[in-house]
Amino acid sequence: MPLRQDFATARRLARNILNSRRNRAAVVRRSFEHPLPDPGTIKIAVYFADTKVNLYQVRQWYAPLAELAATWPVAIISRAPSSVLGLWDETPVPAVYLRSVADLERFVQTQDIRIVFYVNQNAKNFQMFRYGRMWHVFINHGESDKMYMTTNQFKAYDYSFVAGDAAVDRLSHKLWDFDLKRRAIKIGRPQADHLDGELPYTPDARTVVLYAPTWEGDRAAAAYGSIATHGVALAASLLASPDHRLIYRPHPRSGVADPEYKAANETIIAAIAKANAADPTAQHVFDQGNALGWQLAAADIAVTDISAMVYDRLATGKPLLVTRPVAPEAEVDETGYLGAAEWLSAQDASDILAISERVQHDEEAQERLRFWVERHFGDTTPGEATRRFRAAISKLMKEWEKHEKLHIDDARGSEGDPFDDDDEDSAPGEN
| Residue 126 exposure: Cα atoms within 13 Å on the Cβ side | 4
Question: Is 11 a domain residue?
Answer: no
In this model, does residue 148 exceed pLDDT 80? no
Question: Is 106 a domain residue?
Answer: yes
Average pLDDT of the chain is 90
pLDDT in tens, 233-256: 999 999 999 999 999 999 989 999
Question: Is 186 a domain residue?
Answer: yes
In this model, does residue 139 exceed pLDDT 50? yes
Question: Is 430 a domain residue?
Answer: no
pLDDT in tens, 263-281: 999 999 999 999 999 999 9
231/371 same-domain check: yes
Residue 84 main-chain phi, psi, to 5 deg = -70, -30
Question: Is 323 a domain residue?
Answer: yes
> What phi-psi label fits residue 142: left (phi over 0), alpha (psi between -120 and 50 degrees) or beta?
left
Q: How far apart are the first and last CA of the chain?
A: 69
pLDDT in tens, 152-182: 899 999 999 999 998 999 899 889 999 999 9
156/286 same-domain check: no
In this model, does residue 51 exceed pLDDT 90? yes
pLDDT above 90: percentage of residues in the chain: 73
92/235 same-domain check: no
Domain boundary among the residues 332, 361, 377 is at 377
313/221 same-domain check: yes
Residue 154 main-chain phi, psi, to 5 deg = -55, -30
More confidently predicted of 14 and 190: 190
> What integer pLDDT is reported at residue 20 of this predicted model?
74
> What integer pLDDT is reported at residue 258 of this predicted model?
94
Count of domains forming the chain: 2
Asked if 145 contacts 121 with a C-beta cutoff of 8 angstroms, the reply is no
More confidently predicted of 26 and 390: 390
**CATH number for the domain that contains residue 139:** 3.40.50.11720
The pairing of strands 320-323 and 184-186 is unpaired
Domain boundary among the residues 377, 401, 426 is at 377
Q: Which residues contact 29 (CB under 8 A, 6 or more apart)?
A: none
CA–CA separation, 178 and 172 (whole Å): 8
Q: Which residues contact 60 (CB under 8 A, 6 or more apart)?
A: 141, 142, 191, 292, 312
Radius of gyration of the chain from its Cα atoms, rounded to whole angstroms:
25
**CATH number for the domain that contains residue 274:** 3.40.50.2000
189/272 same-domain check: no
In this model, does residue 419 exceed pLDDT 60? no
Q: Which domain holds residue 81?
A: 24-194
> What integer pLDDT is reported at residue 430 of this predicted model?
33
221/369 same-domain check: yes
- When pLDDT is cut at 50, 70 and 90, the band that residue 12 belongs to is low
pLDDT above 70: percentage of residues in the chain: 90
In this model, does residue 204 exceed pLDDT 50? yes
Average pLDDT, integer, range 4-17: 57
Question: Is 399 a domain residue?
Answer: no
Average pLDDT, integer, range 67-82: 97
314/339 same-domain check: yes
> What integer pLDDT is reported at residue 36 of this predicted model?
94
> What integer pLDDT is reported at residue 146 of this predicted model?
65
> What integer pLDDT is reported at residue 417 of this predicted model?
40
pLDDT in tens, 367-386: 999 999 999 999 989 999 99
pLDDT in tens, 286-344: 999 888 889 999 999 999 999 889 988 999 999 999 999 999 999 888 878 899 999 99
CB count in 10 Å sphere of residue 32:
7
CA–CA separation, 308 and 218 (whole Å): 17
> What integer pLDDT is reported at residue 423 of this predicted model?
39
In this model, does residue 426 exceed pLDDT 70? no
Domain boundary among the residues 377, 396, 426 is at 377
237/344 same-domain check: yes
Average pLDDT, integer, range 109-135: 96
368/295 same-domain check: yes
160/214 same-domain check: no
- When pLDDT is cut at 50, 70 and 90, the band that residue 421 belongs to is very low
Closest of 189, 213, 212 to residue 295, by C-alpha = 212
DSSP string, 32-70: GGSPPPPTT---EEEEE-S-GGGTHHHHTTHHHHHHHHT
> What integer pLDDT is reported at residue 416 of this predicted model?
44
In this model, does residue 366 exceed pLDDT 80? yes
> What integer pLDDT is reported at residue 420 of this predicted model?
41
Question: Is 397 a domain residue?
Answer: no
In this model, does residue 17 exceed pLDDT 80? no
165/188 same-domain check: yes
Average pLDDT, integer, range 84-103: 96
112/90 same-domain check: yes
Question: Is 398 a domain residue?
Answer: no
